[in-house]
Structure 1
Amino acid sequence: MLRAHDVLVVGGGNAALCAAIQARRGGASVLVVEAAPKFYRGGNSRHTRNLRCAHDEGNEVLTGPYPEEEFWDDLLRVTGGQTDEALARFTIAQSKELWDFMTGMGVRFQPSLTGSLSLGRTNAFFLGGGRSLMNTLYATAERMGIDIVYEAEVTALDIEDGFFTAATVVHDGRPYRVAARALVAAAGGFESNIEWLKEYWGEAAENFRIRGTPYNRGTLLRMLLDAGVEPVGDPKQCHAVAIDARAPQFDGGIATRLDCIVFGIVVNREAQRFYDEGEDFWPKRYAIWGRLVADQPDQIGYAIIDSRSVDLFMPSIFPPIEGQTISEIAEKLDLDAAALERTVAEFNAAVQPGDFDLAALDGCRTEGLTPPKTNWARRIETPPYHAYPLRPGITFTYLGVRVNARAQILMEGGMPSANMFAAGEIMAGNVLGKGYLAGIGMTIGSVFGRVAGTEAGRHVRN
Structure 2
Amino acid sequence: MVDVLVVGGGNAALCAAITAREAGASVMILEAAPPEWRGGNSVHTRNLRCMHDAPQDVLVEAYPEEEYWQDLLKVTGGLTNEKLARMIIRGTASVRTWMKMHGVHFQASLSGTLHVARTNAFFMGGGKALVNAFYRSADKLGIQIRYEAPVKSIDLEGTEFKAVILESGERIEAKVCVLACGGFESNREWLREAWGQNPNGEWPADNFLIRGTKYNRGTILKFLLDAGADSIGDPTQGHCVAIDARSPLYDGGICTRLDCVSLGVVVNQFAKRFYDEGEDFWPKRYAIWGRLVALQQGQIAYSIIDSKAIGRFMPPVFPAIKGNTIEEIAAQINLDPLVLRATIDEYNAACKVGTFDHNVLDDCHTEGATPEKTHWALPIDQGPFYAYPLRPGITFTYLGLKTDETVAVFFDGKPSSNLFAAGEIMAGNVLGKGYTAGIGMSIGTIFGRMAGQSAARALNLAIKEDEYASAE
Q: TM-score with structure 1 length normalisation? A: 0.97
Aligned to 2:468: none
Aligned to 1:187: 181
**Aligned ranges for residues 223-234 of structure 1 at < 5 Å?**
223-234=223-234
- The amino acid across from 2:90 in the alignment is A
Aligned to 1:20: 17
Number of residue pairs aligned between Structure 1 and Structure 2: 455
Aligned to 2:327: 327
Aligned to 1:128: 125
- The amino acid across from 1:15 in the alignment is A
CA deviation vs aligned residue, 1:434-453 (integer Å, no higher than 9, x gap): 00010000000000000000
Aligned to 2:453: 454
**Structure 2 contact 233–400 (Cα < 8 Å) conserved:** yes
Residue 138 of structure 1 aligns to a residue whose secondary structure is: helix
CA deviation vs aligned residue, 1:235-279 (integer Å, no higher than 9, x gap): 110000100000011111011000000000000000000000000
- The amino acid across from 1:89 in the alignment is R
Aligned to 2:161: 164
State the Cα distance separating 1:308 from its structure 2 match.
Answer: 1.1
**Structure 2 contact 112–314 (Cα < 8 Å) conserved:** no
**Aligned ranges for residues 302-341 of structure 1 at < 5 Å?**
302-341=302-341
**Structure 1 contact 79–433 (Cα < 8 Å) conserved:** yes
State the Cα distance separating 1:200 from its structure 2 match.
Answer: 1.5
State the Cα distance separating 1:68 from its structure 2 match.
Answer: 0.5
Distance, in Å, in 2 between the alignment partners of 1:281 and 1:156 is 42
Between the aligned residues of both structures, percent identity stands at 59
Aligned to 1:140: 137
Distance, in Å, in 2 between the alignment partners of 1:70 and 1:290 is 26
**Structure 2 contact 51–90 (Cα < 8 Å) conserved:** yes
Residue 30 of structure 2 aligns to a residue whose secondary structure is: strand
Alignment partner of 2:65 out of 62, 65, 68: 68
Task: Provide the alpha-carbon RMSD of the alignment.
Answer: 0.9
Q: Which runs of no fewer than 5 residues in structure 2 stay unpaired?
A: 197-202, 462-472
State the Cα distance separating 1:120 from its structure 2 match.
Answer: 0.1
Aligned to 2:353: 353
State the Cα distance separating 1:89 from its structure 2 match.
Answer: 1.2
Distance, in Å, in 1 between the alignment partners of 2:89 and 2:392 is 28
**Structure 1 contact 194–206 (Cα < 8 Å) conserved:** yes
State the Cα distance separating 1:175 from its structure 2 match.
Answer: 2.4
| Residues 1:197 and 2:191 aligned together | yes
Distance, in Å, in 2 between the alignment partners of 1:320 and 1:355 is 27
State the Cα distance separating 1:116 from its structure 2 match.
Answer: 6.2
Distance, in Å, in 1 between the alignment partners of 2:78 and 2:329 is 40
Runs of 4+ displaced beyond 3 Å: none
CA deviation vs aligned residue, 1:123-166 (integer Å, no higher than 9, x gap): 00100000000000000000000000000011121112100011
**Structure 1 contact 115–358 (Cα < 8 Å) conserved:** no
CA deviation vs aligned residue, 1:362-394 (integer Å, no higher than 9, x gap): 021000111000000000011110100000000
- The amino acid across from 2:316 in the alignment is S
**Structure 2 contact 353–363 (Cα < 8 Å) conserved:** no
- The amino acid across from 2:419 in the alignment is M
Aligned to 1:442: 441
Aligned to 1:377: 377
Distance, in Å, in 2 between the alignment partners of 1:423 and 1:243 is 27
Residue 365 of structure 2 aligns to a residue whose secondary structure is: coil
Distance, in Å, in 1 between the alignment partners of 2:228 and 2:21 is 29
| Residues 1:45 and 2:42 aligned together | yes
Aligned to 2:408: 408
| Residues 1:424 and 2:418 aligned together | no
Residue 345 of structure 1 aligns to a residue whose secondary structure is: helix
**Structure 2 contact 27–144 (Cα < 8 Å) conserved:** yes
Distance, in Å, in 1 between the alignment partners of 2:26 and 2:140 is 13
Aligned to 2:301: 301
Q: TM-score with structure 2 length normalisation? A: 0.95
Aligned to 2:466: none
Distance, in Å, in 2 between the alignment partners of 1:223 and 1:240 is 24
